Chains A and B, each alone.
Chain A
Amino acid sequence: MMDHPTRIDLIRNIERALRDESLQRQMGKAMPASRRARADAAAELPEWESLRSTAAGIKDHVLANLEKYLRQLESQVSALGGTVHWASDAAEARAIITDLARSRGVRRIVKSKSMTTEEIFLNPALEAAGASVVETDLGEYVVQLAGERPSHLIAPVVHKPTEEIADLFVKKLGVPRYERPEELARVAREVLRAEFLAAEMGITGVNFAIAESGTLVIVENEGNARLTTTRPRIHMAVMGVEKVLPHLADLSVFLRILARSGTGQRSSVYVSLLTGPRRAGETDGPEELHLIILDNGRRRLLADPDLRGALRCIRCGACQNECPVYQHAGGHAYGSVYAGPIGAVLTPAYEGLERARDLPFASTLCRACADVCPVKIDLPGMLVELRARAVRTGLVSWRDRMLLGAWTFFTGSPARFMLAGSLGRLAQRLVARGGKIERLPYPLSGWTAHRAAPVLASTPFRTWWKSRQGEGR
């Protein structure tokens, strides 16, 4: 299976997204609401800033002692009767899961709450292995019906207006056209209920895994993760190595910042703490619990001092809601499972800068993302670092090189700078009308496609300054 095909053409994807009126309308509605919710929820807590620092500190401590906590987690989960599998990459993770499903004769699978399984392209692999897989988060279910991938970390279907979902249900489920979100949710729940009852395996992600107790924590709002982890015979949990936390006490910090950052809730509706499979004498819970601990590029990131901080990410989606680029582009434009500012860092880190070379450049460096990130990831700093790497390895276009080369050449000394000004003043006679320029030639034509350009002043500041000094001031 080809995990990461060709280069992501972000610029073309964005231009397509900008022409998609329904997407623009939908994002224009959803994003400001999410931003307001987060801002209000954060403002409610006087200790918000200190919570962020504490959370960042815990994450850094975990990252500095990662192998120790992972081993502790493994031994705790095993002691409880669960099985821990280590997967170094997506292919290995897929193989572990499909082999297990095959060996247990699993034919029906329900899934919940997992970007990590999106990251490893799990569904097609399971289907190829003869199992049906149904997403049970409402948003994910819609995305699956539409044959798409999630476009947001916690709101996978945020890009789709309700009317489109209504049409999709009519087409794919053969139900009458319902228009209200609650009715659509009811229809989906009815379908999903049958799936829960029939499934032999439930697959979930993991928000946090507690090393000291072997507890897996899943945070959600719909309750379907509960069903996914308890109703089927086998629970398969997939987590990235960075999801481990040392102590149960650490959890309270993260639960507070996660819900507030993601949806603006004070707390998520359901927080499930799963400690081991069903024990003798218990009446519910899965008979088998498998935990897959996935690397897939994370340890490489850990070894990278400039980008390591990205592993603090708790996938709250706040940076996406805040990012003006994401707001216009939508998640799919990023061409990968992680979108927005965090995606612009993770995708090049996981899938290679060569494939994702434009992503780090898709930012005005406005820093709104860094301001809201609850674990204080320096996303703009990482974008700048990735840009430098793209330049160093020859991954920027000839045009960009030329523009920046010319800029740095002409600003290299006052003489060259004045020369550039003089040349520019000569050249602009051809194009300036009424104190502005409506059309610049390539490579600057992009500027005048959307705005008029200013003209160079007839007298630069330094000339004025000289004459002023001359006047004896």
Chain B
Amino acid sequence: MKPVALFVTCLVDQLYPNVGEASVRVLERAGCTVAFFEEQTCCGQAAFNNGFQEEARVLARRFLDVFAHAPAIVAPSGSCADMVREWYPHLFRDTPALLNLARSIASRTYELSEYLVRVLGVTDLGARFPATVTYHPSCHGLRGLGLRDEPLGLLRAVRDLRLVELPAAEQCCGFGGFFSIKFAALSGAMLSAKLDTIEASGAEVVTATDVSCLMHISGGLSRRGSRVRALHLAEILAGS
């Protein structure tokens, strides 16, 4: 049994708890014992990305305290995992007392599919999901963590799932956190291009490793009256 601490992320906690529940099931199915530390809140990505670095440091500090002794920290979010990995050491670069902890936490933090495939070496979780699915590689997972084959491998192992290619998959969906409000029209235009490709793929379901992108994509699909559903990868992997 591998002990892992689930970092459920703030959006999942409040908006998509089912993604958190699915993550727990998937990790348990892969042979992990999952812990959830209730003191956790947000990794600070929203604050950091928008230039509020002091505020981000406060949130990151909390994260370091909460997860200091966790052997592995797994999040159903490429962007939050990337925040911890890429930016925590940067945030504490002038605080020697915390820098080592930040580096060590960074080296123990994983996105879900990354942890399953790269660390546990599992691709087949025994899931069944009868639908045509396309995969949108979210930018931070893709370019930050280098996730390419991991989510696809997991999807290919799902019974009755037909994986179809997403045209121009690597183009950003236009979410970008507060970018989607500050540059609302532009974000909407980028979204619209993404939705066109999703619909062109012929998929019934679009999946990704981040609920943030999916929130934006599903909001757009809903506005279009599209029949395509947006689901987090964990929800598919938890299917049986």
**Of B44, B139, B180, which is within 8 A of A447 by CB?**
B180
What does the 1/0 interface line of A414-444 toward B look like (CB < 8 Å)?
Answer: 1001001100100000000000100000011
Q: Which A residues lie within 8 Å of B174 (CB)?
A: 324, 364
Tell me the A378-430 residues at the B interface (CB within 8 Å): 384, 386-392, 396, 400, 403-405, 407-408, 411-414, 417, 420-421, 424
Most chain B Cβ neighbours within 10 Å, of A14, A411, A420, A424: A411
- Establish whether residues B185 and A15, one from each chain, have CB atoms under 8 Å apart when the complex forms: yes
- Establish whether residues B186 and A328, one from each chain, have CB atoms under 8 Å apart when the complex forms: yes
- Establish whether residues A412 and B58, one from each chain, have CB atoms under 8 Å apart when the complex forms: yes
- Establish whether residues B55 and A408, one from each chain, have CB atoms under 8 Å apart when the complex forms: yes
Instruction: Determine chain B's interface SS by DSSP, over half rule.
Output: helix
- Establish whether residues B10 and A411, one from each chain, have CB atoms under 8 Å apart when the complex forms: yes
- Establish whether residues A460 and B13, one from each chain, have CB atoms under 8 Å apart when the complex forms: yes
Is B191 close to A, CB under 8 A? Answer: yes
Q: Which A residues lie within 8 Å of B177 (CB)?
A: 364
**Of B14, B58, B175, B186, which is within 8 A of A421 by CB?**
B14
Q: Which A residues lie within 8 Å of B176 (CB)?
A: 363-366
Is B40 close to A, CB under 8 A? Answer: yes
Q: Which one of A70-78, A197-205, A213-221, A449-457 is at the interface? A: A449-457
- Establish whether residues B183 and A464, one from each chain, have CB atoms under 8 Å apart when the complex forms: no
**Of A371, A407, A444, A463, which is within 8 A of B46 by CB?**
A407
- Establish whether residues B189 and A328, one from each chain, have CB atoms under 8 Å apart when the complex forms: yes
Is B38 close to A, CB under 8 A? Answer: yes
- Establish whether residues A14 and B186, one from each chain, have CB atoms under 8 Å apart when the complex forms: yes
Instruction: Determine chain A's interface SS by DSSP, over half rule.
Output: helix
Q: Which B residues lie within 8 Å of A389 (CB)?
A: 51
**Of B14, B21, B56, B172, which is within 8 A of A324 by CB?**
B172
Min Cβ gap B46→A in Å is 6
- The interface on chain B, measured as residues whose beta carbon lies within 8 A of the other chain's beta carbons, has a size of 64
- Establish whether residues A404 and B36, one from each chain, have CB atoms under 8 Å apart when the complex forms: no
Is A459 close to B, CB under 8 A? Answer: yes
Is B107 close to A, CB under 8 A? Answer: no
- Establish whether residues A412 and B143, one from each chain, have CB atoms under 8 Å apart when the complex forms: no
- Establish whether residues B190 and A324, one from each chain, have CB atoms under 8 Å apart when the complex forms: yes
**Residue of A at shortest CB range from B173?**
A364
Is B130 close to A, CB under 8 A? Answer: no
What does the 1/0 interface line of B1-39 toward A look like (CB < 8 Å)?
Answer: 000000010101111111011000000000000001011
Is A175 close to B, CB under 8 A? Answer: no
**Residue of A at shortest CB range from B50?**
A404
Is A57 close to B, CB under 8 A? Answer: no
What does the 1/0 interface line of B137-166 toward A look like (CB < 8 Å)?
Answer: 001100110000000000000000000000
Q: How far is the CA of A367 from the CA of B139 in the complex (A)?
A: 7
Say which size band chain A's interface belongs to.
Answer: 35 or more
Q: How far is the CA of A367 from the CA of B216 in the complex (A)?
A: 19
Q: A384-B51, A388-B51, A450-B223 are in contact. Are A368 and B172 (CB under 8 A)?
A: yes
Q: Which B residues lie within 8 Å of A413 (CB)?
A: 41, 62
- Establish whether residues A14 and B41, one from each chain, have CB atoms under 8 Å apart when the complex forms: no
Is A178 close to B, CB under 8 A? Answer: no
**Residue of B at shortest CB range from A329?**
B186
- Establish whether residues B172 and A366, one from each chain, have CB atoms under 8 Å apart when the complex forms: yes
Tell me the B36-70 residues at the A interface (CB within 8 Å): 36, 38-42, 44, 46-53, 55-56, 58-59, 62
Extra contacts, 19 of them, besides A361-B183, A404-B50 (Cβ < 8 A), are A14-B185, A18-B189, A363-B179, A364-B187, A366-B172, A388-B51, A391-B52, A396-B51, A403-B178, A404-B55, A407-B47, A408-B47, A411-B59, A447-B184, A451-B191, A451-B219, A457-B17, A461-B13, A461-B20
| 25 residue pairs A–B, Cβ–Cβ below 8 Å | A14-B186, A15-B185, A15-B186, A325-B186, A329-B186, A361-B182, A362-B183, A364-B175, A368-B170, A390-B51, A391-B52, A396-B50, A407-B47, A408-B46, A408-B52, A408-B56, A408-B59, A411-B44, A447-B181, A450-B219, A452-B223, A453-B219, A460-B13, A461-B17, A465-B36
